[in-house]
Amino acid sequence: MLCDINYVIRTGFTVISGRLYQRKHSLYDVTVIYGLCTFQDCDVFIRHIRIARLVREIDFARYHFYDRTGIYSRSRQLGIKSLQGSTLTVFVDSIPLFVPYKIITKLVYWDERSLFFEHEVITLHDARTRYLLVSRQYAIGEYTQTISNLLKGLPGSMSIPKSPKYIQDWLKSMAISSAKLRNTKT
């Protein structure tokens, strides 16, 4: 907290403003947060936002989604924590300095171990999609069937959405990479 006070402030602002000004959502709804590309977000040439900064921004988008859907409260009750497992980034066009944008977050799939989110980053002045990020959040807890316990009873949890083909292919790709890493250790 002492090393990155901006992160703590932004997290608090995102969650508190959502609680004050936005309604609760179901797991099938999308949530929206807003951002602005500043000097600290830019690459070394100060032309556009860095990918690493966008990955940080989707943290705030997920925190907002967790709070608005009830996942956060439920995870605290059950002692379940989440861990960013992997991120897939699709670059369409960069976000220049001082350009405001929004991040639309949608839970697209879940299995017994993970939640899969889609984050669409759109600039406000031209409504263009600049990036699409897909993140996989592992649930870590003492329970078996952790995701089932986490989502049980939340609005929209009655049926698991069908896994999109691109997520299935992404999971296969990660399995191949993991197998390759295991083979290189011997």
The token pair that represents 136 in the structure block: 């996989």
Q: What is the pLDDT of residues 101-115, one digit of tens each?
A: 999 999 999 998 899
> Would you say 131 and 87 are in contact if contact means Cβ atoms under 8 Å apart?
no
- Determine the residue type at 90: V
Q: Which of 135, 137, 140, 138 is nearest to 121 (CA)?
A: 135
- Residues 53-60 have a mean pLDDT of 94
User: Which residue ranges make up each domain of the chain?
Assistant: 5-161
pLDDT tier at 30, thresholds 50, 70, 90: very high
Q: Which residue did the predictor score with more confidence, 186 or 99?
A: 99
β-pair partners for 134: 88, 118
What was the pLDDT predicted at 73? 92
- Kindly report the CATH number that applies to the domain delimited by 5-161: 3.10.129.10
């705030």: which residue's tokens? 60
In three-state secondary structure terms, 107 is strand
> Would you say 39 and 98 are in contact if contact means Cβ atoms under 8 Å apart?
no
Burial class (CB in 10 A: 0-12, 13-18, 19+), 141: middle
Q: What is the pLDDT of residues 122-160, one digit of tens each?
A: 999 999 999 999 999 998 877 656 888 899 999 999 888
Residue spans of alpha helices (H) in 26-162: 51-69, 71-78, 146-151
The token pair that represents 171 in the structure block: 């999971």
